[in-house]
Amino acid sequence: MFSCEQESKTLEFPKKLKGTTTIGIAFRDFVVLGADRRATSGYYIASRYAQKILVIDRHVAATIAGVVGDAQQLVERLKLEARLYESSTGMPISVAALANVVSNILFGYRPFLAVQMLLGGVDSSGASLYSIDWLGTVTKEKYTATGSGYSFAISLVESQYSEDLSKDEALKLAVRAIRAATQRDPGSGEGVDVALISSEGIKIMKGEDII
């Protein structure tokens, strides 16, 4: 994914993440995350059961795209940071603060961590969604997507998004968006997983169960 020419010593950044489709959609008091299950290595399907939605804390979860080992390492670091914050303050870490932690880590290690993350959660400020790229850039979003199926998923979400959607309607929208990407993008496939993050906690579901 990265290359280094010995003569110039210049590191090349990846132009885009090849494979995967993940989405995040924020509403008034909850967030929905969605992802496909296909993990690829070039043109090889490395896994049909990859988990791309991961729980960070009881109120925040993330989608991952990029190099699997890098993403797993980053998620474990975030879990630790969340526990340390709560143990020292007695309060759960805010979603915004956790997004800044991700940004600092990716910025500090760039370009050696190839991870793009969507971070969604609910805290005392309400529901929020953040997109963090592999350079550490953080943007707060109402809805967004990552991966090679981005354009297919985001176009459907953008055409049907409303802040007033019910939880059931939001989950169905997320499933439809990921499925649209899997039907057109060879780097995405094998089904859909979705997560509902609300004040009641985090629930991860299979797209097949969303009717």
Segment 17-40 shows an average pLDDT of 87
Measured between alpha carbons, how far is 19 from 148 in angstroms, rounded to an integer?
5
Q: What is the mean pLDDT of the chain?
A: 86
Measured between alpha carbons, how far is 76 from 180 in angstroms, rounded to an integer?
31
pLDDT band at 43 (very low <50, low <70, confident <90, very high): low
42 pLDDT exceeds 70? no
Measured between alpha carbons, how far is 106 from 54 in angstroms, rounded to an integer?
18
The model's pLDDT over 75-121, given as tens digits with 9 standing for 90+, comes to 999 999 999 999 999 999 999 999 999 999 999 887 778 889 999 99
Model pTM score: 0.87
Segment 185-201 shows an average pLDDT of 87
Q: Active-site residue among 10, 20, 21, 22? A: 20
Spatial neighbors of 30 by CB under 8 A, at least 6 apart, are: 122, 127, 167, 170, 196, 197, 198, 199
Predicted pLDDT of residue 72:
87
- 3-state SS assignment for residue 111: coil
* C-alpha to C-alpha distances, 201 to 31, 52, 55, 103, nearest whole angstrom: 11, 18, 10, 24
In the chain, what are the domains?
22-38+45-209 (3.60.20.10)
184 pLDDT exceeds 90? no
The model's pLDDT over 136-166, given as tens digits with 9 standing for 90+, comes to 999 999 999 988 888 889 999 999 999 999 9
Percent of the chain with pLDDT over 70: 87
For CA atoms 114, 143, 57, 91, the dihedral sign is positive
Verify whether residue 22 is a known catalytic residue. no
Measured between alpha carbons, how far is 170 from 119 in angstroms, rounded to an integer?
17
